[in-house]
Structure 1
Amino acid sequence: MGTNKSSISDALYKKAEDFIKPTTTSFDLKMSDALSFIQELLAHQAALESQIRELEKSESEFSNVREYYKDIFNNQPVGLYRIRVFSVKKWGNRSWENSDNPPYKMEFASDRFCEILGVTQIEFSKNPFIISDLVCTDDIKSFVKRNEEASKKFIPFRWEGRLLVKNKVVWVRLESVPRRLDNGDIIWTGILNDITEHVFTENALKENKLHLEDILIGANIGTLEWNIQTGEMKFNDIWAKNTGFTRAEINFALKILKGKAWKMVTHPDDVAYADEMLKRHFSGELPYHSVEVRMRHKKGHWIWVRQEGKVKTWTPDGKPLLMYGTHTDITNRKKIEEELSNLNNELEVRVAKRTEELQKLNDELILSEQKFKTVTDFTYDWEYWKSPDGKILFMSPSVERITGYSVAEFENNPKLLDKIIYIGDVESWESHKKERCVNDPNEKKLELIFRIVTKKGEIRWMGHVCRCINIDGKHLGVRVSNRDITEKVNAEKELLAVTVEVEERERNRFSRELHDGMGPLLSTIKLYFQWLADTDDIQKKKLITEKGNHNIEMAIQTSRELARGLSSQLIVNSGYIRAIQDFAQRINDTNKIKIYFYTNTHDRFNNFLEITLFRITTELIKNTLTYAQATLIEIDFKYNKANNTISLTYTDNGIGFDSETILKTNKGLGLMNIQQRVQILKGNIKITSNPGEGMKTFIEFQVEESN
C-alpha cells in the first residue's frame, strides 16, 4: 500500500522498454504501435492507482471498524473468546487434558478473558492453550467430558469449575455455541465469566439456610409459603410431621383441593374464625395473621396449632398473592391451659364452699389458700387478694413482670397500689374503690381500665376486674385481677390513626382527580370561547361551537366517571401516548397555541404508570394555558428499553416564572401535584424557568412492575 504514483509509473515505463527492446530485434515495430502500447500501459497505471486508493480507503475503514469492535470486546464485564476445535478424527489420546497436544486452537481472546486467567495478551499468545493447564485437578474430568460431549454432539457448551490462577482458586463459567465448518472443524464463540463471588455468596446462603433449618427443627416450627390466588403451598418437613402426613400426601391433597385444603383439615368450629382473621389481615385491618386453631391429625385426633404469618406480595390490582408464616404445635400447651382452667374452676367452687366454713374450718381455709396460690403463681395476669384493713394477703409473682415491683415491696407497702396509678387516672381509681359494697353477697364483679407507672417509669394500661369476698355477711376483702392491655390499647390507637390516614388520602386523591382531570378540559373549553369571541366567521363559529360542545361533553363524562371512580378509563383503553395525542389535537384545533408531541415508542405500560403520566402531562399543559401566554408547547417522550427508563421533556415559549421561588415557597397546587406524582413513580424532576424565558420540565424514572 506504500507504493506511490512515481514508482508505479517508472515500473510501467520499464516494462514498456523491456517489451520494445526484444521486439525491435526480431521485427520492425512501428512508432505508432509503441505509443499505443505505452498509452494502454498508462491507462492501466491510472486504473491501478485508483484501485490502490480504494484499497487504502477500505483498509482505513476496516481499521476503524476493527478498533470499534475491539473496544466493545475488550470492555465487556465477561471474557470473550473464539476457539477452533478440530475434527474428532484429528484428536489425540487424552488430548483435552493438557496443552501438550490440544485438539483445538484459540483464535481470539479479549482483555477480560486474559485478565481472568491471570495472563497478559502477550503471555496468552505464547501459550493460547493455558486454560487446560489451569483447571483444578478435581474439575479436569468434568471439563474434558463437557468439551468432548459438546463437540461430538454439536450442542452448546457450558461448564462451571475452578481454575488455579496464581495460586488462587477462581470459580469460572464457560459458555459457547458451535458453528461447523466445511472441513469438519467447529468454531466455538463464547464467554468466560468470573463467578467466584457468586459461588461464595451462594455457599454462604446455603450455610445460612441450613443454620435456619436447624433452628426451626430445634424449635419444632413448621414454615409455610401460600399462594393465595392459586392455592399452591410450600412447607417444610416439620409442618408435615406435626400433622402426621407425608409431604407427598399433602401435596396430592393440595393439588386436588387447592385453596380449600386448609378448611378441610381445620376444625369446623374454627373455620369461620380463622377465615375472618385472614380477611381482616388481607384488608389491612390486622398487620399480621395470628390464630390458634385445631387441625386434624392423620390419625384422626385434633391438634392445636398456632398460625402466624403475613402477606408480603400483592397482585397489581391489590389482591393478596404470597403469604409466609409459621405453624407451631401448641397441643401440649393447650392441654396444660385446659387443665389449669379446669383446676381454676374447680378451685373457685371449692373456695366458695370453703368460705362458708371459714369461721369453723380455719385449717381448711389455709389449705385452700395454698392451692389457690399454687395456681395463681403460674397465672399470666397480676392477681392479688387484699384484706378489709388494706393488707396484701396474696399477690401473684407476675406483678414484677408487669409493674417492676416485687411482691415483697407491695406487701411491705400496700399503699404502693395507689401510688403507681397514673396521675390522670387517680380520680377514676378512687371513685372505683368507693363503688365496692362490703356487705352485699350478690355483688357483681367491677371492671375498670386505667394506667399505671412502672418502676422504670413506663406507662402501662391495665384491664382491672375486682370482686368483694363476702361470706355469711362477713367481708373478707377484695380479690383483684389485673391484665396488661397496653398492646391492645396501642393497636386500637394505631388502627384509628390508619383509618384517619386512609380517609385523608382518599380526600386528597379526589382533589387531585378533580384538579388534574377537569382542569385541563375546562382550560381547553376556555380557549374555544376566546376563539369564538375573536372571530365573526360563521363557519369558524360553527366549528368552534361543535368542538366546544364536544369538550363540554367530555367534561361532563369526566365528572360522571370521577363520581364513579372511573375517570381514567379512556387512558386505560387507549394508552398514554394516544390519549396525549388526542388531547393535544383538540387544543391545536383552537389555533390559539401549537402543541408538538414527539415519541420514540408506542409501547403500552401498566395502567397506574400511564394514568400518572397523563395527569402530569395535562397538568403541565393546563399551567401553560392558564399562566404562560405561550404560543408553542413541545413534549418529548422517550422510552429507553435497554435501561428500562422513561424520560419526559416539556417546554413552552411562555412568559416564564421564578421557578426557585415558586418551588421553595410551595406555591401552586399544580406543581405540587406534579412533584407528588413523580415521587410516587420514584423518579426525578427538574423544573427550569425564569421570567421572560419560557419553561422547561425534565422528568425521568425507572419503569417498575410495582408501578
Structure 2
Amino acid sequence: MVKFSGMDMLLILQKNLYHTELQEREALLNSVIENIPYDFWALDENNNYFIQSKASKVYWGTLLGKNFNDIKIPESSKIVFGKTLERVKKGEVVNEVNRILDVNGDLYYFQNISGPLVIKNKIKGALGFNIDITERKIVEEKLVQNEEKFRNIFNNSTDSIIIHSVMGQIYESNSIFRNLIDYTEDECIDKQIFDFVDHESTLKFKNEIASLSLNNLDFTTEAILITRSNSFIPIEIKSKVITYLGRNALLTIIRNVSYRKRFERKLLDAIIETEEKERAQLAADLHDEIGPLLSSMKMYISLLKDTKDIEKSKFVGEQVFTLVTEAITSIREISNSLSPHVLTNYGLIEAVKNVIQSVSKFIEIDFSSNCEKMRFASNTETVYYRVFKELLNNTVKHAQATNIIISFIFENDRLTFTYKDDGKGFDYEKSF
C-alpha cells in the first residue's frame, strides 16, 4: 500500500492544477488561432503545416498536416507562396501585396506578412498572415483609372482648365492654359487666377464668385487675359463649384474667343456696310425713280394754272394720273426690295422661292426645304432672308458660279440654312 504524505498530495494537486491550466491556455491559444479573422498559417522546417486559422481554410482548404509541396492550389499562387517561403527561410520578413488565386480560382489581393519562426536562434519554420484587401484594391484601381481619365481630359482638352480656390489660388492648370499665358506649371502654382486677368475682369470675376450659393453653383462671364508678354486676349470663363481634395474649389474653363470676337466684328462691319448700301440704294432709287416722276408731275400741274383749255386740262390730268400710277409702282418696288410683302404675308420659304424664281433664268438653283408651311419669328425670318439675299447677290455679282444649292431644314427645334455655289470663292485667311 502506497502512502502519500501531505506534501506529496500538495505537489500532486499543484501538478494537476498546472496541467489543467496549461491545457486551458493551449485550448485558448488554439481558439485564438482558429478564430483569427485573417488567413493565418504556420509550417515547420520541413514545410509541414501545423497551424491554420478558420479563415485560411476558406481560401486554401485544409492545410493542417500537409506538406507545402502537396497542397492543391492554383500553380500561379503556389509559385508566389514558394518564393515567399524561400525568402523567409533566409531570415527575411516579407511584407508585400500579392495578386493570387484561391483554391477555387477566385482572384484576391492579399497583404502578405510572413516571417521566420525562430526557436533558440534557429529558423524552425515560417508563419504568415494574408489580409484580404481585394475591395480596397478594386477601389484604388478605380480611383487610378478615374484619375487617368481625368488627366486625359484635363490635359487633352482644347480649352484651358484651372482648378483654384474661391480666393483664386491655383491648385492645378492644364498645359493649354500654361501655353496660352506662357508660364510654367511651377510658376502657376504660386499665382492666383486673378493675376492673369485685367483689373476690370478681376472685379467682375470676384463678384461672380461672391454670388455663388447652394442654388447657384456656376457662372459664365467674359474677361481679358494677360500673358507673360503683356498681350491681351479676350476669353470666356465658365466656373463651377467642385470638391477638390476634400475642400470646396472652382473648376474654371477658359475659352479663347479672339476668333469669335474678330468674326463678330467682321459681321457687325458687314451688317453696317449692308445697311449703308441699302440706304445708298434707297437714296439712289428715290432720286432716279421717284424724283423724275415727281418733277414731271410738278411740270404738268403748273400747266393747269395757266390754261382754261378743257382738252389741254384733260390731257394734263391723264398724264398726271399716269405719273402717279408709275410713282406708286416704283415706291412699291422700292419698299418690296427693303421688306418684301411676300416675306411678311407668306413667310420665309415663299419669299426665298419668289427671289429664286426671279433669278433662275440666269443661274441653275437646286432648292429644298422641309418647312414650307411653317412660320417663324419675324426677326428670325428677316435675318435668314437678308443673309440669303446677300449670299445670292454675291454669287450673281462676283462668284461667276453656274450652280447654287440652297436648303432650309427644320429639325430638333433648329432651322439650318445651307448655301453652296460652285463659284471662284475668296481667300478665307485674308478676309478673316
The TM-score normalised by the length of structure 2 is 0.55
Match of 1:309 in 2: 239
1:273 aligned residue: 204
Contact 1:158 1:176 in 2 (8 A): no
Residue in structure 2 matched with residue 51 of structure 1 by the alignment: 14
Unmatched tracts of structure 2, length 5 or more: 290-329, 350-369, 382-409, 414-432
1:197–1:44: structure 2 CA closer, same or farther, 3 Å change rule?
same
Partner of 2:40: 80
The one of 183, 186, 190 aligned to 1:251:
186
Q: 3-state SS of the aligned residue for 2:249?
A: strand
Distance change (3 Å), C-alpha of 1:240 and 1:63: same
Q: C-alpha offsets along residues 515-537 of structure 1, whole Å, 9 cap, x if unaligned?
A: xxxxxxxxxxxxxxxxxxxxxxx
Distance in 2 of aligned mates of 1:314 and 1:205: 14
8 Å Cα contact 1:222/1:238 also seen in 2: yes
How far did residue 215 of structure 1 move?
Answer: 5.5
Contiguous gaps of at least 5 residues in structure 1: 1-9, 14-37, 87-100, 373-384, 396-404, 418-454, 459-707
Cα 1:145/1:54, change in 2 over 3 Å: closer
Going from structure 1 to structure 2, the CA distance change for 1:252 and 1:244 (only over 3 Å counts) comes to closer
Q: 1:232 to 1:271 in 2, by over 3 A?
A: closer
**Within 2, Cα distance between the matches of 1:340 and 1:46?**
117
SS of match in other structure, 1:339: helix
Contact 1:147 1:157 in 2 (8 A): no
Question: Cα deviation per residue 1:47-82 (whole Å; 9 max; x = unaligned)?
Answer: 144224413541464256336524541xx2x32345
Pairing 1:220-619 to 2, within 5 Å after superposition: 220-228=158-166, 231-245=169-183, 249-255=184-190, 257=191, 261-281=192-212, 283-284=213-214, 286-298=216-228, 300-313=230-243, 321-359=248-286, 390-391=344-345, 406=371, 408-410=373-375
Counterparts of 1:330 and 1:304 in 2: how far apart (Å)? 6
The equivalent position to 1:115 in structure 2, one of 41, 58, 65, is: 58
Contact 2:51 2:64 in 1 (8 A): no
Give secondary structure in 1 for the equivalent of 2:217. Answer: coil
- Residue 310 of structure 1 aligns with an amino acid whose one-letter code is K
Contact 1:179 1:188 in 2 (8 A): yes
Aligned residues: 321
CA distance in 2, matches of 1:391, 1:262: 54
> CA 1:180/1:299 → structure 2, altered by over 3 Å: closer, same or farther?
farther
User: What do residues 75-106 of structure 1 show as CA deviations (whole Å, max 9, x unaligned)?
Assistant: x2x3234578x8xxxxxxxxxxxxxx87xx76
Name the CA distance, whole Å, in 1 between partners of 2:243 and 2:32.
44
The alpha carbon displacement at 1:308 in A equals: 2.4
**Fraction of identical pairs, as percent:** 11
The Cα of 1:265 is off from its aligned counterpart by 1.3
Counterpart contact for 1:135–1:164, Cα < 8 Å:
no
Per the alignment, do residues 276 and 42 of structure 1 end up closer, same or farther by CA in structure 2, a change over 3 Å counting?
Answer: same
* Matched position secondary structure for 2:211: helix
Distance in 1, Cα, partners of 2:214 & 2:113: 48
State the Cα distance separating 1:183 from its structure 2 match.
Answer: 0.6
Residues in 1 aligned to 2:221 and 2:89: alpha-carbon distance in whole angstroms: 56
Q: 1: CA distance between counterparts of 2:42 and 2:272?
A: 84
Change (3 A) 1:253 1:325: closer
SS in 2 for 1:291: strand
Contact 2:220 2:238 in 1 (8 A): yes
Deviation of 1:322 after TM superposition, in Å, equals 2.5
Deviations 1:230-251 (A, max 9, x none): 9351233444344444xxx232
Question: Could you give the per-residue CA deviations for residues 639-690 of structure 1, whole angstroms, max 9, x where no partner exists?
Answer: xxxxxxxxxxxxxxxxxxxxxxxxxxxxxxxxxxxxxxxxxxxxxxxxxxxx
Counterpart Cα distance in 1 of 2:163 and 2:172: 5
CA contact (8 A) 1:158 1:174 kept: yes
Match of 2:66 in 1: 126
Q: CA deviation at 1:167?
A: 5.0
Q: Distance in 1 between matches of 2:32 and 2:235?
A: 64
Aligned-CA RMSD value: 5.3
Partner of 2:5: helix, strand, or coil? helix
Q: Secondary structure of the equivalent of 1:391?
A: helix
Higher relative contact order, chain-length normalized (CA < 8 Å, sep 6+) = 2
Cα displacement string for residues 245-264 of structure 1 (whole angstroms, at most 9, x for unaligned residues): 4xxx2323423x3xxx2122
Inter-CA distance 280–127: structure 2 relative to 1 (3 Å threshold) = same
Equivalent residues in 2 for 1:595-674 (5 A)?
Answer: none
Equivalent residue for 1:159, pick from 97, 110, 134:
97
* Secondary structure in structure 1 of the residue aligned to 2:169: coil
Summarize the Cα distance change of 1:144–1:190 in structure 2 as closer, same or farther, 3 Å threshold. closer
1:136 paired residue among 73, 76, 89: 76
CA distance in 2, matches of 1:149, 1:305: 63
Q: Is the contact made by 2:88 and 2:126 (CA closer than 8 Å) also made in structure 1?
A: no
**SS of the residue 1:293 aligns to:** strand
Match of 2:28 in 1: 65
Helix, strand or coil at the partner of 1:410: coil
